[in-house]
Amino acid sequence: MVKAVTFLSAAGSPENFEMLRSFFSALGLEQGRGWDEPESKGAAFLAPLGNIEFFTGRAPQLSGIIVEVTNLDAAHQAAAAWLKAYAPAASLTDIEDTHWKSRLFTVEPVPGHKLTFWAFTDPLRGKPVAIDGDLSAAGMKFGIVVARWNAVITDRLLEGALDALLRSGARRDDILIVRVPGAWEIPMAARTITDKNSVDAIIPLGCLIRGETAHYEAIYTEVARGIGQLQQETGIPHSFGVLTCENLEQALNRAGIKAGNKGFEAAIAAIEMVSLNRKLSKGGRA
Ligand code: DLZ
C-alpha cells in the first residue's frame, strides 16, 4: 500500500539547488537518498510524518511547503542564522499566531521556494499527559512528627508545614502534631501514628547538622531508610522534611530564611501525594 508521499520541487538552477540543500540541512531535516545522474541531481529530505490534507471554508494561511516543527522558536532562529550567513536579502517573516491555535512563520530562502514552518500552541491539544495530585487539603488528615533536637530550626519547619496545610484547606482538628526527642525517633513515632490513628499522610520534620552530630551519617541513613520503608509498607504517603545540613546557617536558610521552608514543601508534597493516591485508586482518572 502507500509507502510515502513525495513533494517534488524543481530548484531552478544548480545554485538554487545547493542553497536549498544547505537551508534544509541547517533546519535539521534528515537527509534521505537523493540521486546524482548526468542529466539531473536530486536531494531528498525526510520528515517523520507526512499528511495529505483537504479542507473547505477558511484557508489556513499556509503557502509553499508546509513543515510542522516541535519548536517553532528554535526553527525561526535557525532560519534567521542561515539567511544571515547565506542569503541576507531573502525574506523571513516574524512568528505570528494563526486562527487555528498555532503559530507560524514563512521563509523564502531561494526565490520561488516558499516554506511555512508552524507548530501548535498547545501540542497536546488540551489532553493531559500525566495524572497529577491536586493541592487542596480539604478533607485530608495529617500526622506531623517533629523532632525537638535543633528546635530553633524544627519549630520553623513546623510553622511552614502548618501554614501550607491550613492555607490549602486542611482543618486544624485534622492535624495531629507529635513531638519526638530527635530525628532518630521519627520513624518509630510515624509507625505508631499510622497504626493507631487514621491519617492520610505523615509529614516528618527534623534537622541534622553534620558539624554537631558525630554519628550524622548513621542517624541520617537510618531515618531516611525508616521513613521510606514506612511509606512502602503502609501505603500512606510520607514526605521528607528532615534537613541534612553542614552547619546552622545552612539549616536556617532552609527553614525559611533564604531558600524556602522545607517544612512547607514537605506538607505540600504530602497533600499532592494524598490527592494522587486517591485518583490512582479510583482507576487513575485525572
Ligand atoms: C544525638 C543527636 C545529635 C548528636 N544530633 C542530632 C541532630 O543534629 N538532629 C537530631 O534531630 N537529632 C540529633 N541527635 C539526637 C538523636 O536523633 C536521638 O534523638 C538521640 O540519639 C536519642 O535517641
205-247 pLDDT, tens digit per residue, is 999 999 877 788 899 999 999 999 999 999 999 999 999 998 8
Average pLDDT, integer, range 54-67: 81
All structural domains of the chain with their residue ranges: 14-52+60-120, 142-281
CATH topology of domain 142-281: Rossmann fold (3.40.50)
Q: For residue 147, give the ligand 1 atom closest to its CA.
A: 11
The reported pLDDT for the residue numbered 145 is: 98
User: Mind listing the pLDDT tens digit for each residue in 105-139?
Assistant: 999 999 999 999 999 988 777 666 788 899 999 99
The reported pLDDT for the residue numbered 284 is: 66
pLDDT > 80? residue 184:
yes
The reported pLDDT for the residue numbered 143 is: 98
Q: What is the 3-state secondary structure of the chain? A: CCCCCCCCCCCCCHHHHHHHHHHHHHCCCEECCCEECCCCEECCEECCCCCCCCCCCCCCCCCCEEEECCCHHHHHHHHHHHHHHHCCCCEECCCEECCCCEEEEEEEEECCEEEEEEEECCCCCCCCCCCCCCCCCCCCCEEEEEECCCHHHHHHHHHHHHHHHHHCCCCHHHEEEEEECCHHHHHHHHHHHHHHCCCCEEEEEEEEEHHHCCCHHHHHHHHHHHHHHHHHHHCCCECCEEEEECCHHHHHHHECCCCCEHHHHHHHHHHHHHHHHHHHHCCCCC
Cite the active site residues: 215
Distance 247 CA to ligand 1 centre (A): 15
The reported pLDDT for the residue numbered 126 is: 65
206 lines ligand 1 (CB under 6 A): yes
The reported pLDDT for the residue numbered 7 is: 83
Q: By percentage, how much of the chain surpasses pLDDT 70? A: 96
User: Is the Cβ–Cβ distance between 113 and 171 less than 8 Å?
Assistant: no
245 lines ligand 1 (CB under 6 A): no
Protein residue with least CA distance to atom 12, ligand 1: 182
181 lines ligand 1 (CB under 6 A): yes
Instruction: Label residue 202 by pLDDT band (50, 70, 90).
Output: very high
Q: How far apart are CA 60 and CA 56, in angstroms?
A: 10
User: Mind listing the pLDDT tens digit for each residue in 240-280?
Assistant: 999 999 888 888 888 887 668 999 999 999 999 999 999 99
User: Is the Cβ–Cβ distance between 165 and 137 less than 8 Å?
Assistant: yes
The reported pLDDT for the residue numbered 165 is: 97
Same fold across 14-52+60-120 and 142-281:
no
Distance 44 CA to ligand 1 centre (A): 68
pLDDT > 70? residue 66:
yes
CATH topology of domain 14-52+60-120: 2,3-Dihydroxybiphenyl 1,2-Dioxygenase; domain 1 (3.10.180)
Q: How far apart are CA 206 and CA 186, in angstroms?
A: 8
Q: How far apart are CA 109 and CA 281, in angstroms?
A: 55
Q: By percentage, how much of the chain surpasses pLDDT 90? A: 66
- Give the HSE-up count for residue 216: Cα atoms under 13 Å, Cβ half-sphere: 14
Distance 50 CA to ligand 1 centre (A): 64
Give buried/exposed letters for 28-40 (b at 16+ CB in 10 A, else e).
eeeeeeeeeeeee
